[in-house]
Structure 1
Amino acid sequence: MKYQIDNIVVLLVALFATICIIDFPTSNAQYFDPTARCEPYAGYPECRDRLKNPNSVWVSETITQELLYTNLSTMLGSMQFMPPSCANEHTFKLLCNQYFQECVDVVVSVNANISVALFNKQCRDDCIRGLADCPIDKSCADLVPYYNVWEFPEKENTFNLSLVGGNDFTIQCFATDSIITNGGDIPCPPPFYLRNSTDRQADIDAGYMFIQDTRCVLPCPSPFFSQSQWDQLSNMAYVLGTISFITTLFNIFTYGVLNRKYDRHSICIIFMSFSFWLVMLTDVVFLGTGWELNCPEPDRYGRQSDAGCASTGIIFQFGVVSAIMWWSTMSFDLWIVLKKVKNTKSYEKLYIIVINSIALILTLAPLSKQQYGYSIAGLGCWILEDNWLNGVFWGPLSVCLFAGISFIVLILYEVFKIVNRVDTGKKKSMRILKYNLKPFLIILCLFVEFAYMFGYHFYTQENMDKYEKGLEDYIICVVTGGTDCTANTIPFGAHFVFLFFIRLIGIEVMVFYGLNRRAKKIWMQSFVFNNRFFTFSFQSTKSTSGSSKEQNQKQNSVEMKKVSSRTEESDVSDNQNNNNNQNQNNNNNQMTLNVDGATDNL
């Protein structure tokens, strides 16, 4: 991503014009500062090889090297954001010698032990060249306050030392290019990093995010959020992601290991839970490796060429795509079961082949264009470009979400019809509420979460220009020496909820599918509760009520035959009516069981 921050140049030109001239304080002397002195250069790396005389630097009581370096480091760091014609070695040397001026110690009177510290200036031609490289509103013919000498003399400066009993003293100016340097690098202002690139495009592909056309790159993670906010996001992922990892693993163990009957509903639950488990696996890997997974270097973002980033991105994409497809498939499968009531053709093999094939295609397609990597606002590696992300995830998500919600609405309608046919008493409304409550909760939770994530993604995508403008303002604040600089970009609370919902789904999978009647029955009938140490007996009241009623009806029928043998024709007619009623009851019970099973599997 390349940030267009042309207005930075305007602000930095103004900054250059205001701070490149040293403001001398008022003193009792008219033509020089009596507190001035010469001292060796403090050794700051930016100007170590760029000074005329590092052994003697002009300072005073109020103008210390620390103060000079504070102003200069801000200026030099901002030079990386200047046009290439301005950010050159001549300009760097010009600035260094303008701040850390060569000091000349002049002895006025040997007998009286009087000396003064004067400064040597660069020639006017150097200033003219500097203005040609960096066109700003500044004159090269200004005077230094209180000293009445030239800021950039044409050839020399003459100091009047009569106030201390001395004669005029002349110092020849020097040419900036006479200073031989090794061309050391000027660093970028923190938190940005300097990147000396021999192949800029290759560095961009490797994950270095350059700021405009400078050599400065963004830190990783990005300044989109403060460090404390990044810590909140990562801690949430550590805790909630680990819990979701365990809960989805519980479902896999329940339906995949303990379960003795693998029907299509249990197969759907196994594969959907496994898909969400893959999504949460990336958080567990992130927990074990830390930010090095997403940021292999402090100034580089993870890319497909990084094994850890590529593998977690692929796992996340396959898991999240297949999970949403399995959820919508379960809705379709339950609808056809209720619609036909009786057993339907088994589609589980077709489900497995089709869903995994589509998920595999949508996962492998971005590999061909090196699309897996870490972006500036996420918590893990995924697909980088919005066009690809919309095509291989958000587009399929919208289709699956619409299909899943549609079939769940149809399921609720079928449940309503079945319950309406079975119950005719006072408790019908309560039964309808009971059978519809769980599907409604699923609709409410998953629909709200998916809809929020869907809307949030496209909202941020639509407003990305505004967020990048906030990052530009942050960069301007940093390079102009501002304090408490903050990037006003993506709303942190909304982004936190987005990442929270992704990890909450793993817990909901266990709540809806791991804590129902069927899961309880699987555990009670498994080797965990039935082994050589003890055995647990589990019976369902609903599943046995129909058989008990049938036995009672058969016994009553036999007794009626023995007592009224002489009215055989009437008895036969009565028995036929009883049998018809019994069959109707059995059918009703069967429909009730189907409804009950449907709500357990939703």
Structure 2
Amino acid sequence: MNKLKLKLLLLLVVVVVNGQNYDFGFVDPSATCTSYFGNPLCQNRLSDSENVYTTGENKFSQISSMPLIEKAFSSLTFSQGLCKDLKFIEFGICDAGLSSCIVTTPDITPGFNLSLSRRVCKSVCERMIIGCKELSAQINCEQSFLFPSKGTTYNLTEYGYKDNNGLYTVPCIDTEIFYNKVESTVEFIEVCPFPLLLKNSSDPKYDEKKGYTYLTPTNCVLPCPLPNYTEKQKYNVITMSKVTSSISFVLSLYNCITFGILIKKKSKYNICIALMTFGSCCIYLSDVINYGIGIEKQLCPEPGRTATQIEDPLCGFTGSIFHIGISLCVFWAMGMGIVLYSKIKIIKLPNFRYFLIGNLSFTIITLIILASAKQFKGGNGFLECWMRDRWYVISIFWIPCGIATLIGILSICGVIYEIYKISKNVSLKDSKVVVRELKPFLLVVTVSGSLIYLFTFYFESEAKYETYKDGVQDYILCILTSVDPEGECFTVGPSFNDYFMFYFLIRFFGVLFFLIFGTSEIARKSWTESFFVTQIKSKISFTTFSSSRGGSGSGGDSSGVKSSSSVNSIKKIYDDDLNSKSEVVNNNNNNNNYNDNDINNNNNNNNNNIRNNNNIDDDSSDDDDDENMDIELKSTDI
């Protein structure tokens, strides 16, 4: 804050000193006294608005002075809390930058009507320093040519003035006289430099809860989205997110249909995969909605305002979908780790229904808490609506998800150790256990690793929060002094590479799930045996068969006897072929029945042995259901 204070005051000094650019006693015959051109900044703040010292055509000097005065007012806006009597200083700046003037009469300068400026009195300078003591280090009120005690002396000898050796004194302007008359009717003007926007924080319409980020103690709000990165960098992130989210949504939907609907064997693994991919579907659905509407329109519905659940119901809707999705992904990744470890260690888990109830209950309860507390917001610099309050984010998401991730990691560490023990005694190519567990193992490792990165990124950003906050001061100073604030000035945030990777990992989960599970043999087989594919195959086969029959029948039309004979011969061959195939099928079915009976007998014996060895209660129907839900972890199932 000291750095900000010093630099802001330096800006004020530039205005006060450079505003007096006429030099000592300089007379410009072309200057005129004209009325103020009407810019709102100094409206009702000039001691003599009808007589302003002006040079150039079309009040050029007045117009050219306004950018500097605007900079000074912007500096004063951010000096609130640092300086007092700011309203009077604004009056002093206007009188200094737009000096009032007098016009000499013919008895003073015969044949000439000279316009002479009236400079600000020394008493005005002294009051400005009293209100802002730090100014005394840069402004010397004892400089009489800048701040005269009584007035400024001009040499008018060449213009015919004879008295006092041709020296004519113009009284200084005492801003305090005019200020005391209008003080009660004039308010302090806040000026927010571009791209900041001025809003009235006391107006409920512009309340902070509605998505405005105020730079206290001012009424200036940060732009939306937050200028952490260049336009090119923001374009790259948004483009990556659009492409990756769209692809991941389609692939997640494919996985969800495959493992949730098409695969009839509802094992624990299949349920975990189906619910996890359903979660990823929700994540990417929120993105698809955002990009369909327009990401900036959705997250920044108005200039300077981020979307909130209160003002923007669609933000609350997409935020709810995103929360459901991210929660399901995290907790079912943990569930897969637990199931994986239990299978390789042959540990009987509690009824799988408890996992379903627990995970879904957590997701629904936290969703209700967030929605009822109106916590879904767009957030500056974020690509989706979600909770932004630090307390809610940490307590509702990161702590429970951190615990879930830790459990998943510990489970995977146990799996790694068990696989290591197996691989020591059995060659890798002969170890069916290693092959069976490879894909779910890779999934949990990659998901857990990604979550660790996201976890680290978030809390590292939180640890640097004060640094980012202090960086706003440099951003303000930059936009106060820069010619191109949008292209040169940026707020401080996480490095772009970390930021890019954070959003890439979240949006890559759908592709990852597809590569691991969507391409598996059981997934491909479920589609080839699905109702849709079998119907298509049947229609293709029927069309092919009809075409072949039609082609054969049209070949011998020259003789009715021959044609009939040919058709009968073909029909006989075809019927014989069908009969032979039917016999083969029947024989195969009989063989399969024998094999199935043998397998069932073996399975029954194995199940009985397992129950006897583990003292499992055969009378528990829940345990029987749970056993039926266990996956056999064949290579075709993964």
**Same fold judged by TM-score > 0.5?**
yes
Structure 1 position 219, deviation (Å): 1.7
Structure 1 position 374, deviation (Å): 3.3
Q: How does 1:351-430 map to 2 (within 5 A)?
A: 351-367=355-371, 369-411=373-415, 427-428=429-430
Structure 1 position 76 matched with structure 2 position 73: yes
Equivalent in the alignment of 1:15: 11
Would the aligned equivalents of 1:335 and 1:407 in 2 still touch at CA under 8 Å? yes
Would the aligned equivalents of 2:53 and 2:101 in 1 still touch at CA under 8 Å? yes
Q: Structure 1 residues 54, 384: closer, same or farther in 2, change over 3 A?
A: same
Structure 1 position 169, deviation (Å): 4.0
Q: How does 1:39-78 map to 2 (within 5 A)?
A: 39-60=34-55, 64-78=61-75
Equivalent in the alignment of 1:267: 271
- Corresponding residue pairs, total: 545
Would the aligned equivalents of 2:223 and 2:304 in 1 still touch at CA under 8 Å? yes
Separation (CA, whole Å) in 1 of partners of 2:25 and 2:48: 27
Q: Structure 1 residues 513, 244: closer, same or farther in 2, change over 3 A?
A: same
Structure 1 position 356, deviation (Å): 0.4
Q: Given residue 132 of structure 1, which amino acid in structure 2 is its aligned partner?
A: I
Name the structure where helix makes up a greater proportion of residues: 2
Separation (CA, whole Å) in 1 of partners of 2:192 and 2:19: 25
- Aligned to 1:187, what secondary structure does the other structure show? coil
Q: Structure 1 residues 435, 340: closer, same or farther in 2, change over 3 A?
A: closer
Would the aligned equivalents of 2:263 and 2:526 in 1 still touch at CA under 8 Å? yes
Structure 1 position 403, deviation (Å): 2.2
Equivalent in the alignment of 2:342: 336
Residue 279 of structure 1: which of 264, 277, 283 is its match? Answer: 283
Separation (CA, whole Å) in 2 of partners of 1:111 and 1:291: 65
Equivalent in the alignment of 1:310: 316
Residue 262 of structure 2: which of 258, 261, 274 is its match? Answer: 258
Equivalent in the alignment of 2:213: 209
Equivalent in the alignment of 1:462: 463
Q: Structure 1 residues 76, 142: closer, same or farther in 2, change over 3 A?
A: same
- Aligned to 1:151, what secondary structure does the other structure show? coil
Would the aligned equivalents of 2:109 and 2:159 in 1 still touch at CA under 8 Å? no
Equivalent in the alignment of 1:133: 131
Structure 1 position 390, deviation (Å): 1.9
- Aligned to 1:58, what secondary structure does the other structure show? strand
Structure 1 position 521, deviation (Å): 0.9
- Aligned to 1:159, what secondary structure does the other structure show? strand
Q: Structure 1 residues 596, 43: closer, same or farther in 2, change over 3 A?
A: farther
Structure 1 position 526 matched with structure 2 position 534: no
Equivalent in the alignment of 1:475: 476
Separation (CA, whole Å) in 1 of partners of 2:540 and 2:529: 7
- Aligned to 2:297, what secondary structure does the other structure show? helix
Q: How does 1:171-250 map to 2 (within 5 A)?
A: 171-176=170-175, 177-178=177-178, 180=182, 183=187, 185-198=189-202, 203-250=207-254
- Aligned to 1:119, what secondary structure does the other structure show? strand
Separation (CA, whole Å) in 2 of partners of 1:361 and 1:226: 39
Separation (CA, whole Å) in 2 of partners of 1:25 and 1:172: 18
Would the aligned equivalents of 1:107 and 1:115 in 2 still touch at CA under 8 Å? yes
Structure 1 residue runs of 5 or longer lacking an equivalent are: 145-149, 538-546, 556-578, 588-593
Structure 1 position 250, deviation (Å): 1.4
- Aligned to 2:207, what secondary structure does the other structure show? helix
Separation (CA, whole Å) in 1 of partners of 2:523 and 2:420: 25
Residue 288 of structure 1: which of 289, 292, 308 is its match? Answer: 292
Would the aligned equivalents of 1:529 and 1:536 in 2 still touch at CA under 8 Å? no
Cα shift readout 1:368-388 (whole Å, capped 9, x = no counterpart) = 554432333322222223333
Structure 1 position 293, deviation (Å): 2.7
Separation (CA, whole Å) in 2 of partners of 1:309 and 1:157: 63
Would the aligned equivalents of 1:224 and 1:471 in 2 still touch at CA under 8 Å? no
- Aligned to 1:86, what secondary structure does the other structure show? coil
Q: Structure 1 residues 347, 523: closer, same or farther in 2, change over 3 A?
A: farther
Would the aligned equivalents of 2:33 and 2:101 in 1 still touch at CA under 8 Å? yes
Structure 1 position 524, deviation (Å): 0.6
Q: Structure 1 residues 242, 55: closer, same or farther in 2, change over 3 A?
A: farther
Equivalent in the alignment of 1:590: none
Taking structure 1 as the reference length, what is the TM-score of the superposition? 0.78
Would the aligned equivalents of 2:25 and 2:154 in 1 still touch at CA under 8 Å? no
Identity over aligned pairs, percent? 26
Structure 1 position 301 matched with structure 2 position 320: no
Structure 1 position 359, deviation (Å): 1.6
Q: Structure 1 residues 14, 230: closer, same or farther in 2, change over 3 A?
A: same
Q: Given residue 326 of structure 1, which amino acid in structure 2 is its aligned partner?
A: W
Cα shift readout 1:342-361 (whole Å, capped 9, x = no counterpart) = xx789443332211001222
Separation (CA, whole Å) in 2 of partners of 1:363 and 1:325: 15
- Aligned to 2:533, what secondary structure does the other structure show? coil
Separation (CA, whole Å) in 1 of partners of 2:602 and 2:492: 70
Structure 1 position 104 matched with structure 2 position 124: no
Q: Structure 1 residues 272, 416: closer, same or farther in 2, change over 3 A?
A: same
Separation (CA, whole Å) in 2 of partners of 1:362 and 1:131: 56
- Aligned to 2:410, what secondary structure does the other structure show? helix
- Aligned to 2:104, what secondary structure does the other structure show? strand
Q: Given residue 73 of structure 1, which amino acid in structure 2 is its aligned partner?
A: E
Cα shift readout 1:10-60 (whole Å, capped 9, x = no counterpart) = 322232123312366698x97424554445544433123323444543244
Q: Structure 1 residues 401, 208: closer, same or farther in 2, change over 3 A?
A: same
